[in-house]
Amino acid sequence: MEELAESNGRRSVRMADVAAHAGVALGTVSHVLNHPEKVSPHTLERVRRSIDELGFVPNSRARALAAGTSSMIAFIVIDLGNSFFLDMARGAELEAQERGLNLVLANCDMNTDKELVYLSLFDAERMAGVLIAPLPSSADDQWRLQEWQSDVVALNVDASGRGCCVTTDDELGGYLAAQHLIEAGCRRLLFTGGPFSLLPIADRYRGAQRAVAEADGVSLELLRTLQTKPADGRKVGDALAARAADARPDGVLAATDLIAFGIIEALGVQGVSVPDDVKVIGYDNNRQAWESTVPISTMAQPGEEMGRHAVRLLVDEIRNPGSHEHEHVRLTPTLIARESTGT
């Protein structure tokens, strides 16, 4: 099981070698690396030259062991193929870099078991901290049940009470999306998406319900899908196209852009015009759906901002173990109106 790699042949040069080469004590070399201001210019120069000449690369593992600190943080992502998560990673990386931390990624590839595997790995590796963007299911996340060595902050999932987290307000997003459709003149709305075990989807639906309840003479129908892919959308589109025109919704709220994409495509093929006959709005501002023939209106989630915030929370937790209080940062999605809901 735990088949380890053997160290590679060449033995790397150690600090002691540098010290010998420069004719100083080992501690002095350490000082030029960590507290150069406390070393005389002359020694500094000499040691530095030795470092260069020998090609010395400080061993961070040893350093971390001795100093009890590390500059590595890890981000465990449920699906790096989803541009939303990749955006988070970008934001996290930028923020980490600005704070002198290094970010590595782990891809769970939609396999929730891997969340735990990687969490354990990084825990054992004594990362300074770890970020995790799990599958936002309603089931109690396994990883939350454990106490971890490293500080961890969750993204895209409500981990209140157990730790820091940053989410976007999906209920509000659903509300705003529905409102946009209503303002565009739609009266017979349809919400489609699934599975509802995904909290964000359930929340988006609730938001849509609220918007509809607040409006007069607007109805809301629900059509569940099994997944969130274009194929699911195409099925919905076909079903809709098969209906009589007056039995058709005039506004569709798709739980994801990918679904919206499928719907628009299927509708187009069957001669139903978007946005003339039916207006469609998606959710996620997913790059994969950017190239739709009819540009898709959508609710954009601030992925990069989420990543940045998460790192900020993490750093606070790492640096102020005493005073730190867990926080739930809730960001707001933004409406991006494009052609699919235009006039």
Partner DNA sequence: CTGAAAGCGCTAACAC
Partner DNA sequence: GTGTTAGCGCTTTCAG
Residue 27 interacts with, from DNA, a second copy, none (CB under 5-8 Å by kind): DNA
Q: How far apart are the C-alpha atoms of 315 and 308, rounded to whole Å?
A: 11
Query: Which residue number, 34 or 146, has a Cβ lying nearer to DNA?
Result: 34
Q: Is 213 in the site for DNA (CB under 7 A)?
A: no
Kindly state the smallest distance separating residue 122's Cβ from DNA, in Å. Answer: 15
Which residue among 42, 55, 139, 321 contacts DNA (CB under 7 A)?
42
Q: Is 226 exposed, middle or buried (0-12, 13-18, 19+ CB in 10 A)?
A: exposed
Strands 334-336 and 298-300: antiparallel
Q: What six digits make up the tokens of 159?
A: 């981990």
**Do 104 and 76 touch, CB atoms closer than 8 A?**
no
Give me the long-range contacts of 15-23 (CB less than 8 A, separation at least 24): 15/56, 15/58, 17/54, 17/56, 18/47, 18/50, 18/51, 18/54, 18/56, 21/50, 21/53, 21/54, 22/46, 22/47, 22/49, 22/50
**Do 343 and 164 touch, CB atoms closer than 8 A?**
no
Q: Which residues contact 84 (CB under 8 A, 6 or more apart)?
A: 284, 285, 286, 301, 303
Query: At which residue do the structure tokens 């509802």 appear?
Result: 196
- Which segment (178-186, 209-217, 312-320, 334-342) binds a second copy by CB under 8 A? 312-320
Residues 281-320, interacting with DNA (CB under 7 A): none
If you count them, how many residues does the chain have?
343
Residues 75-94, interacting with a second copy (CB under 8 A): 80-81, 83, 86, 89-90, 93
Annotate each residue in 171-210 with x if it binds DNA (CB under 7 A) or - if it does not, as one string.
Answer: ----------------------------------------
Which residue among 5, 8, 9, 40 contacts DNA (CB under 7 A)?
40
Query: Which residue number, 39 or 272, has a Cβ lying nearer to DNA?
Result: 39
**Do 70 and 129 touch, CB atoms closer than 8 A?**
no
DSSP states along 196-207: TTBHHHHHHHHH
Which residue among 27, 37, 40, 68 contacts a second copy (CB under 8 A)?
68
Q: How far apart are the C-alpha atoms of 338 and 282, rounded to whole Å?
A: 10
Residue 104 interacts with, from DNA, a second copy, none (CB under 5-8 Å by kind): a second copy
Residues 126-145, interacting with a second copy (CB under 8 A): 126, 128-129
Residues 59-118, interacting with DNA (CB under 7 A): 59, 62-63, 65-69
Residue 129 interacts with, from a second copy, DNA, none (CB under 5-8 Å by kind): a second copy
Residue 43 interacts with, from a second copy, DNA, none (CB under 5-8 Å by kind): DNA
**Do 83 and 287 touch, CB atoms closer than 8 A?**
yes
Q: Is 43 in the site for DNA (CB under 7 A)?
A: yes
Which residue among 20, 54, 58, 112 contacts DNA (CB under 7 A)?
58
Residues 143-202, interacting with a second copy (CB under 8 A): 147, 149-151
Residues 230-249, interacting with DNA (CB under 7 A): none
Which residue among 74, 154, 255, 310 contacts a second copy (CB under 8 A)?
74
Q: How far apart are the C-alpha atoms of 118 and 143, rounded to whole Å?
A: 10
Query: CA of 160: how far to CAs of 170, 226, 318, in Å?
Result: 16, 29, 18
**Do 317 and 99 touch, CB atoms closer than 8 A?**
no
Residue 82 interacts with, from DNA, a second copy, none (CB under 5-8 Å by kind): none
Query: Which residue number, 31 or 248, has a Cβ lying nearer to DNA?
Result: 31
Contact footprint for DNA (CB under 7 A): 11-12, 14-16, 23-28, 30-31, 33-34, 38-40, 42-44, 56, 58-59, 62-63, 65-69
